[in-house]
Amino acid sequence: MSEVLLVEDLYVKYYTRRGIISAVSGVTFDVIKGEMLAVVGESGSGKSTLGYAIMRLLPRSGAVERGRIVLDGEDILRLSEEELRRIRGGKVSMVFQDPFTTLDPLRRVLDQFREFLAEHGIDAERGRIIAEEMLEAVGVPKNLANAYPHQLSGGQKQRVAIAMAIALNPLLVIADEPTTALDVVIQRQVMDLLDDVKKRGTSIMFITHDIALAIERADRVMIMYGGEVMELAEKSMLAKRALHPYTVGLLSSMPRIGSEKLPSSIPGYPPDLRSPPKGCIFHPRCPYATERCRTVKPILSEVEKNHFVKCHLVKAL
């Protein structure tokens, strides 16, 4: 079990006109070779920011304040822009949410593909061969290699994006809600494709708001809320016995076929990250919150093997 990515005590802040937003606060986790780690959270939970921070693609207003991001033994926060270019697309790559806009509308698929390969030192002829191979591997018909993006369907575009992301056998692919913009049938196909990618030995960090999909597909699931990790466990543990009240809330908000009970929602709203609540960040919405939760911040602790929870009320087993 070797780790591909190690994130340690990461803090990311956005400096906006309306104030300083703590988007990611003290996040620590790792990604193991060949696994799919799902990062689950609602909008504003910091899950995408985490992905962009690892790619070093944060918008101008965002900055990593503290922490380490170690990819394959290299602290990528120390790399120059030049070195980053070698790593992006090479060792780590990203698949984005909206496949309809991730390809340059004015250029043919194959041209974009080859340009990216050329940038990583692959000559034109080999670039064409690799591009065609990869497109075939992700199930894009060969004759579409010379098509313009508008001639492809949403699913095909996402396949092309994935083909480019995995062409150089990266160690890690960060997939930021890769199926959110697609219908469920295509969603299943894209998830199957990510499974295949995993089998090639590439680790996947699957960012999603869909806890059901995460539990179905990932090896481990990390639950984020308000920029912090609330729970991190193997999916079977989480499915059987989620411990954090937030995770429990998320799970019970899922509709279940055959169940008499209606799905319930978590009352309240996500925290204002310009001035996060004191103590546990989830306490204003937590049905079990005690006085201690309102004043003392809990720490992420391992309550059973490989099961981490950040909650005062969950005792080690």
Partner 1 sequence: MTLNIYTVIGLAVILVIVLMALLADFIAPYSPVEASGMELESPNPLHIMGTDNLGRDVFSRVVYGARTVIVVVLIAVILSGVIGTVLGLVSGYISGVLDKILSFVMDSIYAFPSLILAIALSVALGPNIFNAAVAIAITYIPTYFRMVRGQVLSIKNESFVEMARALGLPITRIMARYILPQLTQTLVVVFSMNSADAVLTEAALSFFGLTVQPPTPDWGFDLYKGRGFILSGAWWMLIFPGGMITLLALGFALLSEGVSQSYVVKEGE
Residues that bind partner 1 (CB under 8 A): 55, 57, 60, 84-90, 93-94, 96-98, 101-107, 115-116, 119-120, 161, 164-165
CB of 191 to partner 1, least distance (A): 20
Q: Of 2, 1, 41, nearest to 24 (Cα)?
A: 41
CB-CB neighbours of 88 under 10 Å: 18
What sign does the dihedral 224-62-86-123 (CA atoms) show? positive
Q: Where are the alpha helices (DSSP H) in the chain?
A: 47-55, 81-87, 109-119, 124-137, 154-166, 184-199, 211-217, 235-240, 245-252, 291-295
- Please state, in angstroms and as integers, the Cα–Cα distance from residue 121 to each residue in 89, 114, 130, 304, following that order: 12, 10, 13, 47
Question: What is the Cα–Cα distance from 167 to 45, expressed in whole angstroms?
Answer: 30
181/212 with CB nearer partner 1: 181
What's the min distance (Å) between Cβ of 87 and partner 1? Answer: 7
Q: How far is the CB of 51 from partner 1 (least distance, A)?
A: 10
**And the tokens for 150?**
């508008």
Output 88 or 220, the one with its CB closest to partner 1: 88
Q: Name, in order, each residue with C-beta under 8 angstroms of 278's C-beta and a sequence gap of 6 or more.
A: 294, 295, 297
d(CA 17, CA 129): 48
- Beta strands 220-225 and 228-234 are antiparallel
At 61 the three-state DSSP class reads coil
At its nearest, how many Å lie between partner 1 and the CB of residue 73? 19
Which C-beta is closer to partner 1: that of 28 or that of 112?
112
Task: Report the distance separating Cα 234 and Cα 243, nearest Å.
Answer: 13
Shortest separation between residue 99's beta carbon and partner 1, angstroms: 9
* Amino acid found at 152: L
User: Residue 97 or 208: which CB sits closer to partner 1?
Assistant: 97
Handedness of CA 124, 127, 132, 138 (dihedral sign): negative
Paired tokens of 299: 């720490």
Q: Among residues 16 and 295, whose Cβ is nearest to partner 1?
A: 16
- Give least dist CB 47 to partner 1, A: 16
Output 120 or 294, the one with its CB closest to partner 1: 120
Cα pseudo-dihedral 157, 208, 14, 8, rounded to 10: -110
Minimum Å gap between C-beta 94 and partner 1 is: 4
Nearer to partner 1, 46 or 99 (CB): 99
Measured from the CB atom, the residue of 77 and 289 that comes closer to partner 1 is 77
**Minimum CB–partner distance for residue 98 and partner 1 (Å):** 6
